[in-house]
Structures are given as C-alpha cells and as structure tokens.
Structure 1
Amino acid sequence: MQKCTACDIFKGLDFSEKEKDLAEEKFEELFPKKGDVLLTPGQPVTHQYFVLSGCLRTYHITPAGKEYTLQFAVTDWWISDYTAFFTGGESMFYIDCVKDAVVYKISRDSMEQLYTQVPQIESFFRVKMERFFASFQKRILADLALTAEEKYLRFIKSYPDIEQHIKNYHLASYLGITTESLSRVRHELARR
C-alpha cells in the first residue's frame, strides 16, 4: 500500500515540498484491526485520528451498562474525544475499530506546531471544526425530532458503505433506538 501523504489528509491544500514534509513528519501511521481499542474512558486524550480506510467508532457506556454510539468515522473522517482533546482532560469515550483500518494519528502539540509552521492547516481545521459542530447540532436535532425510520434513512444516506460492517446494536445505539425497533424499520422498508 502506498503511504498516505499530507495531500491525502489535507485535501484541497496546495503545499510546498517543505510544508508537505513538515506535515507528514507529524503523523504516525497505525493499522488497527477490527476489535482493537484506541481509547478508553479515563485516559488522557492527546491525539486525534485521520481515517485513511476502514471504520472507527466512538461510544460511551453508562454505569448501568447502556451503550451509546456517538460517531462512526470512515475514509477521510477525523475522530477523537474532542472535548478532552481540546481541554486536556480525560476521555469519556471509547474509540474502537469496527473494520480493519489505516489511520494517522497526530498529537495536540504537533497540531499546534503545524498551525504556526503551515498557517493554511489552521484554516483547514477551523473549517473542519465548523462543519463538525454544525453536523453535531443537526444530529442532536434529528435525535429529538425524527422518527426511527427517518433516523435510519438519514444514517444510510450519510454512511452508505458501512452498514454491512457494523453490528445491529452499534447502529441501534447510534440511532437511539432498540435493536427490535431497528429490525421493525428494516422490515417495513423492505416491504415497500
């Protein structure tokens, strides 16, 4: 497999060779396998991850054992416990590998260095974080206002290639419904 480049990670940016080299030296390549855990609650969060291929999942387990999936990250997506990453706190979430992946991790310190050394990367991340925030607000509204079927249809539109790689209870926990409700929704859609 060809090694990922800064141009793969920062699509749309035009780098000089020096800037490209500076960016690439800050990332570490990882090859998590299905089931590998990259982050657990209570750990300091010092990195964020760029997904070149595969699928990762962020989730939380309540003290009562109920699981809530917050995010799936597929090709060209970023993932971390962002609250802890930006505040220097400890993770509230797990991040695990749902499908064998190739990811690139970068530390907060390395990101800060890149912001200074390659200013267009700071603008790139500002735009990414604005879109991420807007997406999360839309997701919260959808969770409050949409039916189980509407949530499911929204999910398969947003993540068209991963449904076959995730477990039903992962998807149900992402949608905020039971696995039984998910089965009913799929059955009703198949009958149409």
Structure 2
Amino acid sequence: MQLEEEILNSFSNVSSETFEELLKVSELKTLKSGTQLVKLNEVPNKVYLLLSGVVRCYICTESGKEFNKSFYLSNSFFGSLTALMKNQPSQFVFETLTDCEIHEVDFKKVMELAETNLSVSKLYNKVLQSFYVLYEKRLVDLISLEAKDRYLELQRQIPDVDKIIPQYHIASYLGITPVQLSRIRKKNEIN
C-alpha cells in the first residue's frame, strides 16, 4: 500500500490514519481489458484510483459513434464527476483499454469523511483542482493546436501511446479520422 499512499501524498499530505480511513471505503480490484466501470446513463457511486493500466473515457452518440474524451494512466484518479456530484446519470463511459489494477472508492463515504476530516477535504479539493487543470489544458489544446501538434502532445504525455492504445481510439481522442492519424504518423516518422 506504499504506492497508494505516495499517490495521495502527491496531491495533499495524508496521515497514515487518514490513509487507513480511506482504505476502508475502497476496494482493490484487478480488471480485464474491456471492462466498463461506468456505463452510459448509469448513476455512478464510485471514483477510481488507477494503479496500473490505461482507461478511456468516451461519449457515445445516438447512432453509436464513440468519441474519446480522456485517457487515464497509472497513478491517476478518474470518475464521472458531474454525475457523482449531482447524483445523476453519467453522460460518459469509462472503460479499461488494458488489464488494470484500481482502487474503487465509495464517493459518498469519502464525502462523509471530508465533512469531519480536514485532510480528506483538502485531498478532495486538490484532486478536483487537478481534474480542472487537465480539463482546461485539453480544451485549449483542442481549440488552439493543429491535429499534428495534438498528436505530438499526446505522445509527450504518453510516450508509448501507439503501442498501448489502438489507432482508432487515438484518432477519436484527437478529433480526426484514423486515415488522418496514419498520415500524421508517417510524416512524423520521416521528420
């Protein structure tokens, strides 16, 4: 459990006692690739700490077309936050792209702990801040960067992205077609 405590402390200092309290409201799970953690229109009640593997978050249109919003890597938190906070159905699906090891955390119990434990409250605040910073960066990248530059930024964030995430998921995340991604990758190999 040393790794998990280090991850939490990278956001906010958490005492061993607080860490133990958080462990009581979470469950360590090993999941196979293709597992949906949050389904479309499901009211979620969990937030997740990804210890290993890759998870994607996507939205699905009425026609069944999927658009990737985010990829989550080891040592990160994820969850359908708006749905959790408003206790409403999720507009997003969260699915494992690889086998994953996660802590599944009961959101309501964490919120109850945050009411009486300042350390949990600070941790929650810091995690929310990190979500917002990542969200804002993603939005700026989508608006201001060309597809090639978005791909290079994704490669910077996930150096082995082409080995661990299928091309069609990468293309969807970048807002381009797989053919466009293939062209960008070819040009990138030449340069």
TM over 0.5: yes
Moved more, 125-134 or 182-191: 125-134
Distance 1:153 1:9 in 2: 27
3-state SS, counterpart of residue 37 of structure 2: strand
Unpaired segments ≥5 residues, structure 1: none
Deviation at 1:97, TM superposition (A): 0.7
Aligned residue pair count: 190
Distance 2:123 2:164 in 1: 30
Unpaired segments ≥5 residues, structure 2: none
8 Å CA contact 2:59–2:92 kept in 1: the answer is yes
Distance 2:133 2:7 in 1: 21
Distance 2:44 2:2 in 1: 23
Match of 2:5 among 4, 7, 26: 7
Matches within 5 A, 1:106-185: 106-185=105-184
3-state SS, counterpart of residue 182 of structure 1: helix
8 Å CA contact 1:6–1:24 kept in 2: the answer is no
1:25-77 Cα offsets, whole Å, 9 max, x none, are 11111111111111211111111110011111111111122211111111111
Distance 1:97 1:9 in 2: 20
3-state SS, counterpart of residue 75 of structure 1: coil
Distance 1:45 1:23 in 2: 19
Matches within 5 A, 1:1-80: 3=1, 7-12=5-10, 13-80=12-79
8 Å CA contact 2:55–2:73 kept in 1: the answer is yes
8 Å CA contact 2:57–2:68 kept in 1: the answer is yes
8 Å CA contact 1:39–1:93 kept in 2: the answer is yes
Amino acid at match of 1:39: V
1:190 maps to what in 2?
189
8 Å CA contact 1:56–1:74 kept in 2: the answer is yes
3-state SS, counterpart of residue 90 of structure 1: coil
Deviation at 1:14, TM superposition (A): 4.6
1:100 maps to what in 2?
99
Deviation at 1:114, TM superposition (A): 2.3
Deviation at 1:118, TM superposition (A): 3.0
1:131-150 Cα offsets, whole Å, 9 max, x none, are 22122122112112211100
Amino acid at match of 1:10: L
What is the aligned-residue identity percentage? 24
User: In angstroms, what is the RMSD of aligned CA positions?
Assistant: 1.7
CA 4–43 in structure 1, closer or farther in 2 if over 3 Å, else same: farther
TM-score (norm 1): 0.91
Amino acid at match of 1:11: N
Amino acid at match of 1:134: V
